[in-house]
Amino acid sequence: MEAKLNSEAGLELQPSQPPRIIVRDSRDVDVPAMLAIYLHHIRRGVESGLDVGDFEPPDAEDLKRRRKNMQQKRKMPHIVAEENGVVLGYAYAVPFRKRPAYRYAVKHSIYVHNDHLHRGLGRRLMGALIDACAAAGFRQMIGYIDGANRASLALHEAFGFRQVGYLPSIGYKFGHWTDTVMVQRSLGPGGTEPPQA
């Protein structure tokens, strides 16, 4: 699309560009932006089982180490969504459990910047995370969602996760008990074929 010239003002008007959202692997330099997104949500208490008073913010260096360990050593997907170079959301997978029997199962997390909700970023991240987990050979994805977190429950449902567990009154925050919904989705052939390696 060509820029239009405003003849009265003599100014060149920029045509409105569609937002350019890219989903890519996370990098070390993304950690401060990811931490800011995370802290905001934790303070609002949407997802965390912790009360604000008990909460000790994670350390950026520690997060960098954990990110590198998961992404590079353990080959777990760890991705961000950026718009015009600004990180607006992230998602990652970690082992479901440490024991070797569970090595084909991951659990995941996804966070979108509070000022950029409902713009499709969660959808982009979730699709990319599922694809990356499947491509890495994982067969099952597990999510734990606060029972009051309607946005996350709906997002997961839209991507084929189904409820496989319900943990009533398992958390306590902001002065009341909270429930957790456990959701699961298979990847690739799931449990219909043995793993490849």
The interface with ligand COA within residues 131-150 (CB under 6 A) comprises 143, 145, 149-150
Among 46, 50, 63, 170, binds ligand COA (CB under 6 A): 46
Under the binding rule (CB under 6 A), the answer on residue 36 touching ligand COA is: no
37: nearest Cα among 76, 71, 80, 93: 80
Q: What DSSP element (H or E) covers 96?
A: none
Shortest distance, position 122 Cβ to ligand COA, whole Å: 2
Q: Which of 20, 98, 99, 118 is close enough to bind ligand COA by CB under 6 A?
A: 118
Considering only residues 151, 170, 171, 188, which one is a binding residue for ligand COA as defined by CB under 6 A? 151
40 binds ligand COA (CB under 6 A): no
Instruction: Answer whether 125's CB lies under 8 Å from 81's CB.
Output: yes
Q: Does 181 bind ligand COA (CB under 6 A)?
A: no
Instruction: Please report whether residue 88 would count as binding ligand COA according to CB under 6 A.
Output: no
> In this chain, which stretch among 5-13, 61-69, 96-104, 115-123 interacts with ligand COA, using CB under 6 A?
115-123
SS (H, E, C) the chain: CCCEEECCCCEEECCCCCCCEEEEECCHHHHHHHHHHHHHHHHHCCCCCCCHHHCCCCCHHHHHHHHHHHHHHCCCCEEEEEECCEEEEEEEEEECCCCHHHCCEEEEEEEECHHHCCCCHHHHHHHHHHHHHHHCCCCEEEEEEECCCHHHHHHHHHCCCEEEEEEEEEEEECCEEEEEEEEEEECCCCCCCCCCC
106 binds ligand COA (CB under 6 A): no
Binding span for ligand COA by CB under 6 A among 48-56, 70-78, 117-125, 131-139: 117-125
Residue recorded with tokens 């170079």: 85
Among 50, 58, 123, 171, binds ligand COA (CB under 6 A): 123
Closer residue to ligand COA, CB minimum distance, 6 or 51:
51
| Residues at the site binding ligand COA, with contacts judged by CB under 6 A | 41, 46-47, 109-112, 117-123, 143, 145, 149-152, 154-155, 158
